[in-house]
Structure 1
């Protein structure tokens, strides 16, 4: 790993970061009287009107394209990010060290926090402006986000981004301003803009065996207050005849990252597509040639304003993507293609992100799907969120002994090598967007697993800078803790203990690159505890890393395994899937309930103003005592309280903790004095807010 400057993965580094972030720092960038600054302007013709957005500036060794490597584990870049508001062609925006990140804006850098600490030397510098669109969703929340445009929601330089030219500069170490001009816009030749939904979810031309569909989602469009689309890439089996009304096929729904213009399973080997299209598996595995399994292969396209896909569930931040895919898109596919529209013939598969989506799809929709074959899924149980003991730790970045919690690893000759820590990844993500808008991994988990904060953005489970975990925010993740969801609904009306028995197949390697084996082990432990050993079919292969097919099988062996499950559980199979396990009463993740639990109205209900009581027994000699409550605020909001007498602050403001009980004994108040408690809350991504308690007239 090549990093310049400060590495933010130690206790000392995090303490330094926390200490250098004043609460009352500037809300937006301003000129610096010393040190290094970057002044940004927009050339004529590249911006119509004004826009909010996020600017990322990258410094890389001279002669290197900053976009050549932007990965947290290997990039030589220095990254600096900043929110901008109301930017127009005539605007000049200055990124400077005095504008350190705070409540709503400022600059954040990685791996160097401050521009002032950029070492002297020669660099190639480039800036990118991601434009945000402000929307008001149907639950009343208003936010500004970037809507991807058939490009898989990249964290930087996405469709429509403004860019500067790569500029070579010499940083002297003395006060200096680097001037950059946004004079280009990231475009694509893939879309004409005349297709349904324009470039949303992409538009691709069909081939004989690879078909593309896209529909406008009514439920998503209603939620987002704008047209929203979902799509799918569909690979037809050999011999598929649209005019043959008798023959129908089971479907594998392959989950995963942005599918672009490739169909599912068209990438494992160079000759896979040829064999699939010909309908014959070559006998190069020691067996004779044999026919390919006759199935339709589907890959969803559902890039979201938060990531390259929505995680295929209903969530308070993404909206009803689960309903859009499963209640709108799948019926469309069933209507236009020769599918078998029965649960036993619908199988969910996927790895990593797709691994979580595939098992969640069956857990939440056992009425729709028969089984999942989930490989190295994201955290199935938040007792281990990757390597973070999320329910018990106080910090997401540090173990109890003060060492850094790792996030990405490799093994060299059997020895574990840490490539990145949780702190490093989260700090890197901050350079691409605040309020979980980076379109990167930790932020999308915040948006999918969590609920909305009062500001309309995801209620983050920890402080992105210090790593301090907010237990109250973590508790809202439990509805997406799949082990907890199953155990909680084991033998109630959902009856998941019987409904899901034998339908969940999960594989992971013990050397998973992202420690995802730990969440699988926790899931196995919790479900075995109530269902008996093997209730879910768990395979943990020793020393296997992240990647590959289910159980590390060769592709044809894998597909034949899935096909055999379908045959065995069909009406004429050896173990038909019982009708009583695919009933609608077991359906979960209801969007109405999701919003009631975690939408904007739920966020409003979490709040309460400060309040005071007392003052009834004043003896005129200083014996009055008032009790105060700071009210209820979102987790992570830092509070400062002030006692106020007749509208005037008394004494100094003081820091308070949420839930802390306060008391006040006035010494100078007169009989006609009114006593109040004012509490100010501050949090990254929130506008500073002061709430005032009820007033009580002093009685003497």
Structure 2
């Protein structure tokens, strides 16, 4: 029985890593020929063609793709595909799929099959590089739902690996923008509809447009406080709440008061704040991470020097660092902390929750500087897959290889719209081909340390430590980081490493706060949203210039209290055994 189990595990790992013995050459009989309807598209297009199959006909196959429990799909890049002409998927090394890497691995049977086409624009950037990528359009880089992409109607097909041959599929439907498009404008200029308390700002960024070689727009969703009067003189502090792209109102606010937060926000009990949530989708991801990088361009400049001044001009904000705090969780947690660290003269404090990797000695659980492989812990005689997602119980939900190979099937050269691809675009220098330099070989996970050594400028922990002589006076007492100690994606381990470094800083002492939730997963917070705003109001009041009148927005002097039992919140020393 033990031998059988070992054999089963080995077989699963072979499929996951793309080396299944069933057809390692990729030369099976089954092919799909994907074409674009001439009635839909008149000119040749670049992009990536996909075929998706499922046994579940309750929804479109393109809506069933996922890392675990998802359906098989395959993709292939194509340049200059003319309408009516076909690109063939299968039979060669340039077609790649997940969770079955080759079409030959698909069992014979009856399936619902769908063709899809992800269109790529050509960007001739100001740094001299030329790249082909999909430009999202008010969708937050939702690859299989992004405007400009094309798909075909699902078809019922019987597949026999011995005799199916080449099966033709056509894309004949276009995905259209969700946001209203201005008359005579483009979809990138579209904005959600304003309401009484929720407004929207979108501007063309000069620095980003120059970098990308075409008009690039950035925007924000704005939540105004109760009693806001554009004609009055009262100015309000601002919470810059970072996160993933959304067209929804900040903090889930509803004009009809249909949830507890909305009722509270409009009541006399709430301090008066303006909330800003960015909309900065880009060709790599649904958000920019709001910093300057070689691959994404100067999003930090665009945010701090173009968008924020525009928000300050249009609304009654306190346009000073002491009146601005940053917050967010997960991706938004990294953005909140990074914005404070990279732009300490713009923001006055950060409250960062369960952030993406803040110390790259633990990108989740990969030490990008010292480890040899991102997918496995490799020893002389064996190797163990690195977990990527876990339950609080300890069960592994999926491993690093699975998510990385799922992304690779969606798009090579970090064009998948996935988290690992975005981190590479965020942390890496630009490669010789104009795309992000690859930190590891995507099929095998072998790390290129000559690339990861150049990640340190974006390593928040390393930056804080190495630049403390100048950052220290600006960050003292301004860093508040919280995370569950059983974070689903192991992000607590990087927070612990950051805490180790910060606690050792002197002249001045960092006076930073790190809070851990015992046995709490990703998304845990020590406070309710209402309590957070009370904390923000207290923090900003204490840090306001001496003599500042805060009574117009401060609200009731209610000290926030933890709503959990003693011992559940641990201001802990970092765990032992982590690399130092």
Q: Could you say which TM-score interval applies, normalised by the shorter chain? A: 0.7 to 0.9
Partners of 2:277 and 2:11 in 1: CA distance = 38
Instruction: Please say which structure displays the higher CA radius of gyration.
Output: 1
> Judging changes above 3 Å, is the alpha-carbon distance between structure 1 residues 473 and 172 closer, same or farther for their aligned structure 2 residues?
same
> Judging changes above 3 Å, is the alpha-carbon distance between structure 1 residues 432 and 16 closer, same or farther for their aligned structure 2 residues?
closer
User: Which residue does the alignment assign to 2:435?
Assistant: 457
Matched, 1:178 2:152: no
How many pairs does the alignment contain? 535
1:90 positional shift? 2.6
Please say if residues 11 and 398 of structure 1, whose CA atoms lie closer than 8 Å, have aligned partners that are also in contact.
no
1:265 positional shift? 4.5
1:444 positional shift? 0.5
User: Which residue does the alignment assign to 1:93?
Assistant: 87
Matched, 1:211 2:205: no
Q: What stretches of structure 2 of length at least 5 have no aligned partner? A: 1-7, 551-580
Matched, 1:407 2:388: yes
1:26-41 equivalence runs, <5 A: 34-41=28-35
User: Which residue does the alignment assign to 1:567?
Assistant: 541
Q: TM-score when scaled to structure 1?
A: 0.73
Partners of 1:15 and 1:253 in 2: CA distance = 42
Please say if residues 414 and 422 of structure 2, whose CA atoms lie closer than 8 Å, have aligned partners that are also in contact.
yes
User: Which residue does the alignment assign to 1:618?
Assistant: none
User: Which residue does the alignment assign to 1:151?
Assistant: 139
1:8 positional shift? 8.4
User: Which residue does the alignment assign to 2:417?
Assistant: 439
User: Which residue does the alignment assign to 1:16?
Assistant: 19
Q: Residue 232 of structure 2: SS of its match in structure 1? A: coil
User: Which residue does the alignment assign to 1:190?
Assistant: 179
Q: Residue 304 of structure 2: SS of its match in structure 1? A: helix
Please say if residues 317 and 457 of structure 1, whose CA atoms lie closer than 8 Å, have aligned partners that are also in contact.
yes
> Judging changes above 3 Å, is the alpha-carbon distance between structure 1 residues 337 and 446 closer, same or farther for their aligned structure 2 residues?
same
Please say if residues 137 and 177 of structure 2, whose CA atoms lie closer than 8 Å, have aligned partners that are also in contact.
no
Partners of 1:465 and 1:20 in 2: CA distance = 16
Please say if residues 11 and 404 of structure 1, whose CA atoms lie closer than 8 Å, have aligned partners that are also in contact.
no
Matched, 1:554 2:528: yes
1:506-585 equivalence runs, <5 A: 506-531=481-506, 535-548=511-524, 551-572=525-546
1:200 positional shift? 1.5
1:215-614 equivalence runs, <5 A: 215-245=203-233, 247-266=234-253, 270-272=258-260, 274-276=262-264, 278-280=266-268, 291-401=269-379, 402-411=383-392, 415-491=393-469, 495-531=470-506, 535-548=511-524, 551-572=525-546
Please say if residues 132 and 144 of structure 1, whose CA atoms lie closer than 8 Å, have aligned partners that are also in contact.
yes
Matched, 1:55 2:49: yes
1:400-445, Cα deviation, whole Å (9 max, x unpaired): 341100111113xxx2111111100010011111100001111000
1:208 positional shift? 1.1
Please say if residues 81 and 430 of structure 1, whose CA atoms lie closer than 8 Å, have aligned partners that are also in contact.
no
Q: Residue 552 of structure 1: SS of its match in structure 2? A: coil
Partners of 2:147 and 2:86 in 1: CA distance = 23
Partners of 1:208 and 1:133 in 2: CA distance = 37
User: Which residue does the alignment assign to 1:579?
Assistant: none
Q: Residue 399 of structure 1: SS of its match in structure 2? A: strand
> Judging changes above 3 Å, is the alpha-carbon distance between structure 1 residues 475 and 201 closer, same or farther for their aligned structure 2 residues?
farther
Partners of 2:251 and 2:10 in 1: CA distance = 39
Partners of 2:195 and 2:78 in 1: CA distance = 44
Q: Residue 530 of structure 1: SS of its match in structure 2? A: coil
1:18 positional shift? 11
1:339-372, Cα deviation, whole Å (9 max, x unpaired): 1111111000000000000000000000010000
Partners of 1:371 and 1:223 in 2: CA distance = 30
1:13 positional shift? 6.2
Q: What stretches of structure 1 of length at least 5 have no aligned partner? A: 26-31, 101-105, 281-290, 577-700
Please say if residues 6 and 111 of structure 1, whose CA atoms lie closer than 8 Å, have aligned partners that are also in contact.
no
Q: Residue 47 of structure 1: SS of its match in structure 2? A: coil
1:20 positional shift? 8.2
Return structure 1 stretches of 4+ with deviation > 3 angstroms. 5-22, 531-535
User: Which residue does the alignment assign to 1:287?
Assistant: none
User: Which residue does the alignment assign to 2:115?
Assistant: 127
User: Which residue does the alignment assign to 2:572?
Assistant: none
User: Which residue does the alignment assign to 2:559?
Assistant: none
Matched, 1:142 2:123: no
- Which range moved further: 530-539 or 558-567? 530-539
> Judging changes above 3 Å, is the alpha-carbon distance between structure 1 residues 264 and 198 closer, same or farther for their aligned structure 2 residues?
farther
CA RMSD between the two structures: 2.5
